Structure 1
Amino acid sequence: MTSETITAAAAGTWELGDLTVNRIGFGAMRLTQSGEAFGAGATPSDRGRAISVLRRAVELGVNHIDTAAFYFSPLRSANELINQALAPYPDDLVITTKVGPGRDPSGEWLPHATPEQLRGQVEENLRQLGRDHLDVVNLRIVGTDSIAERFGALAELRDAGLIRHLGISNVRPEHLAEAQAIAPVVCVQNQYGIGARPEQDDFLRTCGERGVAFVPFYAIAGAGREAGASGADSDEVLAVARAHGATPAQVRLAWTLHRGPHVLAIPGTGNPDHLVENVAGGALRLSADELARLDSLPTGRE
């Protein structure tokens, strides 16, 4: 089987509340830009290419797309690209978005939203996506402060029917406990990948024990973060890739998915070839020895 014929179904499925998604999804952040910059100074992506990538993702069985209203560059908005490419939306497509951060029209970051401002952010996502409700909304935070007021505001919007399910992003275990005391949490979206710290592994396992999806971001990019993968993969990652005739990115995705059935992946790209490779990474099965070798990589090593 070639990469072109492998679909997202090869990775298996998970339930986000009452919504079934394939464990390989798609992250929309990189759709809006060409090159490495994100935020102020980003170069707009090619609209036609971005739309074709989204449509190809759905053709390949991707039914979980991660986005946000603050994913934009000059002339490009991830939400509006998704709307143009995919509306009317397939019945099984789950669109997850994030609120909390904001950016001004120039791309500069704004202070995170207050509980009162979150409704406006939810309504902005609804408008851009052309939806009457949002499938999943993650409250993304920075810092260690209580999230009770902000998550409570989103829970009220869930009760009002604007949001179907809730998640949290860039959080600690205490935030999950705090949120679950207010309303059900279907997913935690945190940075995670090969070389993760032990406390990150512990949190991943806690999510599994609670039936909460764990959705890593930067699983491929590692330390490259918004700029993407640095190309400086370890000898161990390269050796496993050679053994399978795979790319290092596919190995990183496969390792991530092996961490538990509740772990999802949302690799993002604006490159049609990389999209096919990422989806095919969901079919890669690593041996116990290979997993152990990758598990043993030093913390923080990318």
Structure 2
Amino acid sequence: MTSPLITASAAGTWKLGDRTVNRIGFGTMRLTQHGEALTPGAVPRDRDQAVKVLRRAVELGVNHIDTAAFYFSPLRSANELINRALGPYPDDLVIVTKVGPGRDPSGEWTAHATPGQLRGQVEENLRQLGRDHLDVVNLRVVGAASVAERFGALAELRDAGLVRHLGLSNIQPHHLAEAQAIAPVVCVQNMYGVGASPEQAELLRLCGEQGIAYVPFYAIAGQGRTAGATAGESDEVRAVARAHGVSTAQVRLAWTLHRGPHVLAIPGTGDLGHLAENVAAGSLRLSPEELTALDSVRRTAT
């Protein structure tokens, strides 16, 4: 007997501003190349395969895609792949991009954008995606310095109609308060997963209290970061995976989604099988005992 197809709707929904999305989404950072993402000289991923993965994600109910103009390899651009695979875009599809960092055509990182340069980054995303507005733009932050001037510049672009909603990425709690005083924040993207520190969990709590979507990155990879999941895995995660007959990556995603109804997931992959597994993780229900065991995993396990 064939098992029923599990779609992204199994994870439930949340609203990003005025747009409703399924809580399992798709991240495109690793879609452009093999090996460690965002590294100059890495081997580009097959274009047709990347297009198939994007189209299959939407077929599986994914309607929240995370991207950036600086996600590219020597031959592949995540935004270009999205445009080719999904344009004309489904009405319910929400594309979230980010600005702040920059890369030159060779792939080398350049200085983060000034407030005056952010409009150019927004316009580049619009051009690559083939859109007249961006659903959500996240300001990617480095360090503890004020975000007021740069977030204010994005708020002006929102007022001009180029951007519908604003978010933040890689922030500290004071950044959220600072930005909220300027314009509504609909989502926060920060590193988070099994073994997260109390400091990382603090932002998740603050977002929940304010009705802001919390969107973890590296929820599967942990300390592997852009290189992907490491070979090592905690006994607790492996035990839960065996009990449910699923992968450890699915357990990590499920645990993340259990942290609150406002938590969204954006796992990325260039493999159709892994894509189906990631989406299916949204239907995995963990017991209180399993959650307690996973909560006990220390950060060194991620």
TM-score, normalised via structure 2 length? 0.98
Partner of 2:222: 222
How far, CA to CA, are the matches of 2:239 and 2:224 in structure 1? 21
Contact kept in structure 2, 1:4 and 1:276, CA below 8 Å: no
How far, CA to CA, are the matches of 2:259 and 2:116 in structure 1? 37
Query: Could you give the per-residue CA deviations for residues 136-188 of structure 1, whole angstroms, max 9, x where no partner exists?
Result: 00000110000000000000000000000000000011000000000000000
Query: Could you give the per-residue CA deviations for residues 97-141 of structure 1, whole angstroms, max 9, x where no partner exists?
Result: 000000001100000000000000000000000000000000001
Structure 1 residues 61, 37: closer, same or farther in 2, change over 3 A?
closer
Amino acid aligned to 1:51: V
Contact kept in structure 2, 1:3 and 1:277, CA below 8 Å: no
Deviation at 1:3, TM superposition (A): 7.3
Matched, 1:122 2:143: no
Partner of 2:86: 86
Structure 1 residues 103, 57: closer, same or farther in 2, change over 3 A?
same
Contact kept in structure 2, 1:37 and 1:43, CA below 8 Å: no
Amino acid aligned to 2:235: D
Count of aligned positions:
302
Partner of 2:241: 241
Deviation at 1:37, TM superposition (A): 4.7
Partner of 1:112: 112
Partner of 1:42: 42
Classify the secondary structure of the residue corresponding to 2:196.
Answer: coil
Deviation at 1:301, TM superposition (A): 2.2
Partner of 1:76: 76
Matched, 1:29 2:29: yes
Partner of 1:61: 61
How far, CA to CA, are the matches of 1:26 and 1:197 in structure 2? 24
Partner of 1:175: 175
How far, CA to CA, are the matches of 1:210 and 1:290 in structure 2? 28
Aligned sequence identity (%): 78
How far, CA to CA, are the matches of 2:300 and 2:157 in structure 1? 38
Classify the secondary structure of the residue corresponding to 2:265.
Answer: coil
TM-score, normalised via structure 1 length? 0.98
Deviation at 1:4, TM superposition (A): 7.0
Contact kept in structure 1, 2:212 and 2:262, CA below 8 Å: yes
Amino acid aligned to 2:217: F
Deviation at 1:267, TM superposition (A): 0.1
Classify the secondary structure of the residue corresponding to 2:30.
Answer: helix
How far, CA to CA, are the matches of 1:221 and 1:260 in structure 2? 20
Partner of 2:196: 196
Unaligned residue ranges in structure 1 (runs of 5+): none
